[in-house]
Structure 1
């Protein structure tokens, strides 16, 4: 197993790039919730929703589950008995593996490798020392060669659409609490060399009171190379209305790798205002997760739940679109995409 740094050959130079989420997976990686204080006293309800999500994913593909202590492992094992889940003891601060985990890259020969970006809990908002080491733990579990990159990047801040195209937001990546001095052009350079992104498209901002500073995966997602689904807010008095409308207008002017306009599909935000321990929560249907033959979509007991499923189902032909409760999980500020990380199918690259 090799540790490669920014001074070595880059993934792009060796033919690696990050594939879109809809390509075949070997597994889904997740972390089990363990801290009742972080969940504002809702840990039991959160674990119940986690268990339903893990069991659903495990019907379609293996789940690799990180547990931070013996109690967490026992709790998860009891709730997930009989499911296709492998447990790994790894020190953790929290569960947001989309952001603190590695990002996987593949190449045409069928090999899979990993890129270990730095994680500082969305600009130093929470403790993150253990979570910053999760990519190293995953590489040891897989015995995989990988790149260590001295740049802060969360997986939820980047939406990969295939053909070298990706989406992100200025409000997140350009904060000075992540990578002071990195502008849009320098980010594009890093993402080109380490994830194979040849065309980086920028939206303005995300949802109100999103502690990630506006992750793209809570508002706007690719469903295929030509189709983008984006969140909209009909209520003109809602603070999200102007931001989502500006993003929608920008998307309609954007083009794919061949210079062709995208197909843009509007996805409503939940209709009801949700209040958490720290103010308004950012519930969204765009935080779905795509896997082998399925898509899981968060539901909140909201009037727009069924409408969101009806909009998304035709966008994923050949996949079962499944709505699952995320009313407790959203108390932590994220949902299904935030707590999952796909490992693409393929042989793990050993660096040879």
Structure 2
């Protein structure tokens, strides 16, 4: 735990070089968990530069953990703190389960959003309609699923991320890796899909770190034991000209950082140690939720 806290502090320090950083304790907001990407507000910005928040329901990643009543209040509290309008939804949705290209496409996985432990009464068409209504999108890319050790039922932020409107970075593993099959299915799906305008996507492969496992003690959520954790270079954060990439003390770190630098030459690519953070089953993207810079703010 101490090592993970040190890595979190280092992440906050580096992020603070490029962003104005605020934690929920600093805002006086109580939470059940640290993964604000999933339960925090989802910010949207319109063509006039006005910002609003969306407050989706959070049920502890499909009811895997005990009540998350504090987490569910966070979007409204942050919206109130920022004096922003906030739209509340009845649909269950975590921020880490979606990624957008900013031009009308949202990307997600079938394993998560179509899971019966999220919105069993909603059809795929109803889910798509709600996403479009909230995010201003008009096209959904559905990938098959997520990686081993991910207790979120396959969040997209570990398996495929937009870095511009037509470019997606996605991990690909060696055949002997436990995630090989699902990552290949995702890769193939990305090759067959199109964006909101019917154009093919540009796919760039990221390496995959060697499997990292942790021997968890038994607790109220399970018997514990040795478990693979969801280590992925795709769990990066883009921050005002900087790209903060989780690294895991492995030989694949350098090759991953090189790919990011080649793909985004105008960004300052920084590796942030996350091998202990990921024992908590999340990483840099999971720990953060960005607020866009407005050009004007409306509370109407």
Same fold judged by TM-score > 0.5? yes
Query: Given the alignment of the two structures, is residue 121 of structure 1 paired with residue 60 of structure 2, yes or no?
Result: yes
1:240-259 CA distance string (max 9 Å, x none): 11111111111101112221
Mapping of residues 248-267 of structure 1, within 5 Å: 248-267=187-206
Partner of 1:348: 297
Matches within 5 A, 1:307-318: 307-318=255-266
Give TM-score, length-normalised by structure 2. 0.94
Show structure 1 runs of 4+ deviating over 6 A: none
Match of 2:46 in 1: 107
Q: Is the 8 A contact 1:300 1:327 kept in 2?
A: yes
Would the aligned equivalents of 1:116 and 1:149 in 2 still touch at CA under 8 Å? yes
Aligned with residue 240 of structure 1, among 176, 179, 198:
179
Q: How does 1:320-331 map to 2 (within 5 A)?
A: 320-331=268-279
Aligned counterpart in structure 2 of residue 295 of structure 1, from 243, 255, 258: 243
How far apart, CA to CA, are the structure 2 residues paired with 1:124 and 1:348? 36
With the length of structure 1 as denominator, give the TM-score of the two structures.
0.80
Q: What is residue 61 of structure 1 aligned with on the other side? A: 19
RMSD, aligned CA: 1.2
Question: Where in structure 2 are there 5+ consecutive unaligned residues?
Answer: 217-223
1:193 alignment partner in structure 2: 133
**1:185-209 Cα deviation digits (max 9, x unpaired):** 1111001111112000100011012
Aligned residue runs from structure 1 range 101-180, under 5 A: 101-127=40-66, 128-180=68-120
In structure 1, distance between residues paired with 2:102 and 2:48? 17
CA–CA distance in 1 between the matches of 2:292 and 2:143? 27
CA contact (8 A) 2:57 2:92 kept: yes
What pairs with 1:223-234 in structure 2 (closer than 5 Å)?
223-234=163-174
1:181 to 108, 115, 121: 121
Larger relative contact order, structure 1 or 2 (CA cutoff 8 Å, min sep 6): 1
- 2:76 touches 2:86 (CA, 8 Å); kept in 1? no
How far, CA to CA, are the matches of 1:311 and 1:184 in structure 2? 35
The question of whether the paired residues in 2 share the 8 Å contact of 1:116 and 1:146 is answered with: yes
The unaligned stretches of length 5 or more in structure 1 are: 1-41, 68-86
On the 8 A contact 1:188/1:197 being kept in 2, the answer is: no
* Structure 1: distance between partners of 2:100 and 2:215: 30
Structure 1 CA distance for aligned equivalents of residues 157 and 34 of structure 2: 16
Q: Tell me which moved more, 120-129 or 286-295.
A: 120-129
In the aligned structure 2, how far is the partner of 1:263 from the partner of 1:276?
Answer: 38
TM superposition shift of 1:121? 1.1
Distance (Å, rounded) in 1 between the aligned partners of 2:249 and 2:257: 13
Assess if the C-alpha contact under 8 Å between 2:147 and 2:158 holds in 1.
yes
Mapped partners of 2:215, 2:278: distance in 1: 9
In the alignment, the residues of structure 1 paired with residue 107 and residue 53 of structure 2 have an alpha-carbon distance, to the nearest angstrom, of: 20
Deviation string, structure 1 residues 18-77 (Cα, Å, up to 9, x no partner)? xxxxxxxxxxxxxxxxxxxxxxxx1x212211111111111111012111xxxxxxxxxx
